[in-house]
Structure 1
Amino acid sequence: MTSEHKVLHGIGVCAGTASGPVAFVAEAPGVDEAEPKCTDVDAAVAKLDEARDAVVAQLKARADKATDEKSKGVLGATAQMAADKGLYKNIVKRLKAGDGMTHAVAGAASDYAAKLAKLGGYFAERVTDVNDVRDRLIAQLRGLPAPGVPDITTPVIVVARDLAPAETATLHPGSVLGIITQEGGPTSHTAILAAQLGIPCSVKTKGALDAIAPDDTVALDGGVGEVIVSPTDEEVSQLKDRAERRARALAGSSGQGSTRDGHRVALLANIGTVDDALNAAKFDLEGSGLFRSEFLFLGRDEAPTVEEQTDTYTKVLNAFGKDRHVVVRTLDAGADKPLKFANQEHEDNPALGVRGLRLGMRRVDLLDTQLQALANAYKATGGDLWVMAPMVSTVDEAEWFATKARSYGLPKVGVMVEVPAAAIRSAQILSVVDFCSIGTNDLSQYTMAADRLNGELANLLTPWQPAVLHMIKAACDGGAATGKHVGVCGEAGGDPLMALVLAGLGVQSLSMAPTKVNAVRAALRLHDFSTCQQMAAYALDARTAEDARKAVIALADPTLLDLL
């Protein structure tokens, strides 16, 4: 039985429209409330071993079937989490204390997830992996179907409370028309992967699981986050018309990024692996504004060697050739178990502790190895290589990094602007480096004191918050004062409307998921630079984030709405 007609609202994170039947992601079964206490530890451990081996095997099998290296990597990382010794030991400890099987798994996973969440950044993002492993182990122990996306035989719109990375990585645009999640946020793993895949997606869609039934047809606008349950023929037709208007607006979007009157804004891709680089290089864009080098380091017992890193950086530079530049961010990690070779002492709040460049300044051996590998790749390719350090807060830190990086003969040295201190002091920091790149995701969470992974705080985490815009302006003012390049590599750069504001504030390059470049390029070409500057001024003076966005839309060419 289909549901009555209704309209739901979420956060649109990947533009595009879709309509079709739904497929629900199976919910996790939860602990067995009726299970007995553990009285035979040996038998319980044997059962745990059997379940763990089965889950690892299932994940590895899915990784083998994955069609691209990024999906294989995500699934492999989740399989590695399932085999994690620390998690396993905690489960056994709880069994010995008398916990029932599923309660032991849930308790141990909760402990581990809390530790990761406390660390923040990449490690907090792995909480979803831990929860995914927990749910799969419990389902295996209870003899129930594994949670997750069902086998898809016809094109569908996937509906879920949230999607684990292992699930999102297996989705394919050919079979998944769209994604709707009830939880999550604009910078969640689901949102980022959906953007990379080009699948229309709405996250934090309130009431989605209650409002949508298995037999329903839904229509989705991934640009504005609108979901229509049991849409009328007219509404479906309107969505198709919108898709056609979007296609027309994108037609002819090619070449360098610039406003209508020729003000240049370079359009670049965010990447994390060699495969990402090879894929992005096929797009009509101007290089990579962010290569997340930490993916080389994570999930390993030992740091990658100079030779391994040189090989990776060389392949990335070769992918883009000598005419397109590549910005590599040095290791952005902190004191946590996934980096077994770089553990730090216990920190009460590691998210604000030894992470990013602070870790590099303590483990100079890791940074030296990375810089040497980057220098080797630069010499081997002659590519346009830029190197930047993450989580820089002071002029001294920036100068320390610049001196070290330049000692290896690296041609362009910069820093990330992710904390208010760096934005406010950008002129001083840029006086000792060649460029900076604004990470809007972290800058938003540090400015607004709101965890970027907490969907309940999504209204605070939007870059439309006037306070965040003022931080971006401060960084751009520093660039103007010193004549240095200021870019953006956070998710804000891929929003066609926000791109206009960023250009007006003085941002000179925008880096994003490759699938978003055409829309951003088209948006820029619809407006002259003076309009972008006026948009920026209105957004800065707005009372709220919503008011800022409305003020900019009011100034925008109406065609732009078809790109959102």
Structure 2
Amino acid sequence: MAAATNANLLQGVGIGRGTAVGPVIRMPDPVPQPADTASERTPDEEAQRAREALTATATQLRQRGESAGGTAAEVLDALAMMAEDPALAADVQHRTEDGATAEYAIHAAMGSFRDMLVGMGGYLGERAGDLDDVAQRAIAHLSGLPAPGVPESETPFILVARDLAPADTATLDLELVLALVTTDGGPTSHTAILAREKGITAIVGASGAAALQDGDIVLVDAEAGTVERDPDQERVDLALQRTATLEAIRAQSSGPGALADGHAVPLLANIGSVDSAREAVARGAEGVGLFRTEVLFLGAEKAPTVEEQAATYREVFAQFPGQKVVVRVLDAGADKPLAFLTDQGEENPALGRRGLRALAAHEEILRDQLTALAQAAAGSDAIVQVMAPMVSTAQEAQYFRDLAHELGIAIAGVMVEVPSCAILADHVAQHADFMSIGTNDLTQYTLAADRLLGTVATFQNPWHPSVLRLIETVGSAGAAHDVPVGICGEAAADPILAVVLVGLGATSLSMSSSAIADVRAELSMHSLDDARRLAALAVSAESAEAARAAVLGAIHP
């Protein structure tokens, strides 16, 4: 659907390809900030009140997570861990000992913690806003107020917010929330990730949406990344027709991924837990293209044992008998620091010792993980493969593959996330059993735009020809050396871009499992020659917008 050109058109980053029309309801104002006044209770009483509030908040978050399942459960469990953080508890107690109320102690301690994360930037900076939600919930508990959340409505609506806390996104009533629009956040924020997983039509980073008022009628077009206020009836009818068409295509989509000429393109899932593995199976994933193992390590004071790791891996592998499961070894550093692994005090940790660099510096941790994976794979019917994150040289690829083979894993590859790895893919391919392109990081490093920073979200676009040309380089190297090339970034979840990626040489696509049906349906409408023709149009464009427009124009002349 062509975008309108009028003053009522707001631009953001679309999640998925859905459309929705309805009235706006804005998120309510937050719980009032507590005043810095001396408490009339004893310090012990205030400390106890604070402990109870934080415990209750953690319990509530975990209950919501268990109800929502999937990635939402992981996200909300991480929030609960924030509420239970020992350093936070110590800070709160110190403040109550100085005479603060429990409300203000929590607010101030969370604020201090938040400022520290903002200063770190990257993933942790993006998570700083989550602390505000934890504080709001604890203060609401203390004040006897309802916890902050999505407003109630008896009729369907478009929810507009500055950003949504993970606890809210995870439990949205999809019968009532037609679409989600946020003024903040980027395409890989928690809001975007959970919206994509739950199949919610969403636009993030639409700063102009701050001017929308309750009751405004808007047309949300995720594929175009637009929010249109007061659309005319013709555009509403087109949107509804398009939504119905997409739903019909999605309903008819089944079986293995393939192009119209029968060229196979396995459609795999990105997972991070046993729950998300089960969901991937239910949604028709043909295996796993990215199993994130960080959840086993984050928040731990020391690495889990070989036995502890192997037990979790076995549970995941059991969901995919006879299918491929690609495991990314621990990707720590930068946005995911670990006290027992990563360096502290790096001025720019995104360009520091992270991924394979950190693991190579503490090889015992890498050896233990590969040993655990080999043990779990030995008793499994899954086809287990491993890959190293943040590989930047051919020598690193060789080091990782040799070590994985030594420890009993037959197939070991690399993630292509660093431009140097893509540029030298012909050399890297000689030392890797496969290559998997992580488009999120590859895009941020190519365009020097933090993938989790809303202010540069417009640069974080995998349609950019500079990114596509790097992907083409990797695809060509893979074909020349008979090395499979997968895509495991969120770019694979864009159905039209998925076709282009296959045209650039991708041999498999891995994505949020909720996107599989749409991608499968789109692939089935194009031949390999079509995909290559569309890819040539995209890489020859001068911008992301021009690349996308050229491809859409060729598909719908």
TM over 0.5: yes
Is structure 2 residue 413 aligned with structure 1 residue 414? Answer: yes
Larger deviation, residues 310-319 vs 267-276: 310-319
Alpha-carbon contact 2:267-2:285 (below 8 Å) kept: yes
Q: 1:219 to 1:345 in 2, by over 3 A?
A: closer
1:62-73 maps to which residues of 2 (within 5 A)? 62-65=61-64, 66-70=66-70, 71-73=72-74
- Distance change >3 Å, CA 338–CA 152, structure 1 → 2: farther
Label 1:274 to 1:116 Cα distance change in 2 as closer, same or farther (>3 A): same
Q: Please state if 1:293 is matched with 2:261.
A: no
Match of 1:381 in 2: 380
SS at match of 2:227: strand
Per the TM alignment, residue 388 of structure 1 is displaced from its structure 2 partner at its CA by 0.4
Unaligned 5+ segments in structure 1 are: 559-564
Query: Residue 561 of structure 1 aligns with which residue?
Result: none
- 2:3 maps to none
The answer to whether structure 1 residue 314 and structure 2 residue 314 are counterparts is yes
How far 1:405 sits from its partner (Å)? 0.8
Mapping for residues 353-368 of structure 1, pairs under 5 Å: 353-368=352-367
- Are residues 362 and 49 of structure 1, via their aligned partners in 2, closer, same or farther at CA, if it must alter by over 3 Å? farther
1:16 deviates by 2.1
The corresponding residue for 2:83 is 82
| Shift in CA distance, 255/120, structure 1 to aligned 2, threshold 3 Å | farther
Q: Label 1:100 to 1:486 Cα distance change in 2 as closer, same or farther (>3 A).
A: same
Kindly state the Cα deviation for residue 36 of structure 1 after the two structures are TM-superposed: 4.6
Provide Cα deviations, 1:478-513, integer angstroms capped at 9, x if missing partner.
Answer: 212322111111110010111121111111111111
Whether contact under 8 Å (1:38, 1:99) holds in the other structure is: yes
The code of the aligned residue for 2:273 comes to T
For residue 196 of structure 1, what is the aligned residue in structure 2?
A: 197
Deviation at 1:204, TM superposition (A): 1.6
User: Which shows bigger deviation, 303-312 or 169-178?
Assistant: 169-178
Out of 100-109 and 217-226, give the one that drifted further: 100-109
Change (3 A) 1:348 1:108: farther
1:116-515 aligned at under 5 Å gives the runs 116-117=117-118, 122-137=123-138, 145-150=146-151, 155-213=156-214, 215-229=215-229, 235-322=235-322, 324-334=323-333, 339-342=338-341, 344-515=343-514
Partner Cα separation in structure 2 for residue 185 and residue 475 of structure 1: 26
- Are the equivalent residues in 2 in contact too, given 1:527–1:556 (CA < 8 A)? no
Q: Which amino acid aligns with 1:320?
A: F
CA drift at 1:175: 4.4
How many residues get paired?
Answer: 549
1:112 aligns with 113
Deviations 1:182-208 (A, max 9, x none): 111112111111111111111122332
Task: Say if 1:367 and 1:481 are closer, same or farther in 2 by CA, change over 3 A.
Answer: same
Q: Tell me the C-alpha RMSD between the 2 structures.
A: 3.0
**Structure 1 range deviating more: 356-365 or 411-420:** 356-365
Q: Tell me how far apart the structure 2 counterparts of residues 408 and 52 of structure 1 sit (CA, whole Å).
A: 46
Output the CA distance in 2 between the equivalents of 1:52 and 1:224.
46
Q: Is the 1:87–1:109 Cα contact (8 Å) retained in structure 2?
A: yes
Structure 2, unaligned runs of 5 or more: 1-6
Distance 1:120 1:314, change over 3 A: farther
- Please report how far the alpha carbon of residue 556 of structure 1 lies from its aligned counterpart in structure 2 after TM superposition: 1.2
Report what 1:522 is aligned to: 521
Closer, same or farther in 2 for the Cα pair 1:545/1:63, shift >3 Å?
same
What SS does structure 2 have at the residue aligned with 1:243? helix
CA distance in 1, matches of 2:173, 2:360: 41
Q: Report the AA paired with residue 517 of structure 2.
A: N
1:154: Cα distance to partner? 5.4
Taking the aligned partners of 2:78 and 2:146, their CA distance within structure 1 comes to 22
- 1:294: how far off? 0.6
CA contact 1:184–1:203 (8 Å) conserved in 2: yes
Structure 1 residue 302: deviation in Å?
3.6
Deviation at residue 177 of structure 1 after TM alignment: 2.8
Deviations 1:78-114 (A, max 9, x none): 1210222323445566788999987775665455345
1:118–1:349 CA contact under 8 A, matched in 2: no
Moved more, 245-254 or 330-339: 330-339
TM (norm. structure 2) is: 0.89
CA contact (8 A) 1:219 1:231 kept: yes
8 Å CA contact 1:118, 1:351 repeated in 2: no
In percent, how many aligned pairs have the same letter?
A: 45
Q: Does structure 2 retain, via aligned residues, the 8 Å contact 1:120–1:351?
A: no
Q: Name the aligned partner's letter for residue 377 of structure 1.
A: A
CA distance in 2, matches of 1:96, 1:338: 31
SS in 2 for 1:177: strand
- Secondary structure, aligned partner of 1:77: helix
Name the TM-score, length of structure 1 as normaliser. Answer: 0.88
Partner of 1:562: none
- Could you tell which deviates more after superposition, 283-292 or 81-90? 81-90
How far residue 60 of structure 1 moved from its aligned partner, in angstroms, is 1.1
Instruction: State how far apart, in whole Å, the 2-side matches of 1:8 and 1:545 are.
Output: 18
Q: Give the 3 Å change call, closer, same or farther, for CA 183–89 of structure 1 in structure 2.
A: same
Return closer, same or farther for 1:45/1:240 CA change in 2, 3 Å cut-off: farther
Matches of 1:335 and 1:31, distance apart in 2: 32
SS for the counterpart of 1:459 is helix
Alpha-carbon shift at residue 55 of structure 1 (Å): 3.6
Whole-Å separation in 2 of the counterparts to 1:380 and 1:26: 52
Q: Which amino acid aligns with 1:280?
A: A
Q: Distance in 2 between matches of 1:387 and 1:327?
A: 5
Alignment of 1:97-108 (within 5 A): 108=109
Larger displacement relative to structure 2 (310-319 or 91-100):
91-100
Cα separation, 2, equivalents of 1:338 and 1:84: 15
Q: Could you tell me how far apart the structure 1 residues matched to 2:329 and 2:174 are?
A: 32
Aligned partners of 2:42 and 2:480: how far apart in 1? Answer: 69
Report the Cα distance in structure 2 between the residues aligned to 1:143 and 1:202, rounded to whole angstroms: 33
Deviation at 1:403, TM superposition (A): 1.2
Contact 2:38/2:100 (<8 A) preserved: yes
Deviation at 1:437, TM superposition (A): 0.8
Stretch moving more, 327-336 or 371-380: 327-336
Instruction: Return the alpha-carbon distance in structure 2 between the equivalents of residues 196 and 423 of structure 1.
Output: 28
Query: How many angstroms apart in 1 are the aligned matches of 2:112 and 2:392?
Result: 31
2:84, 2:485 → 1: CA distance?
42
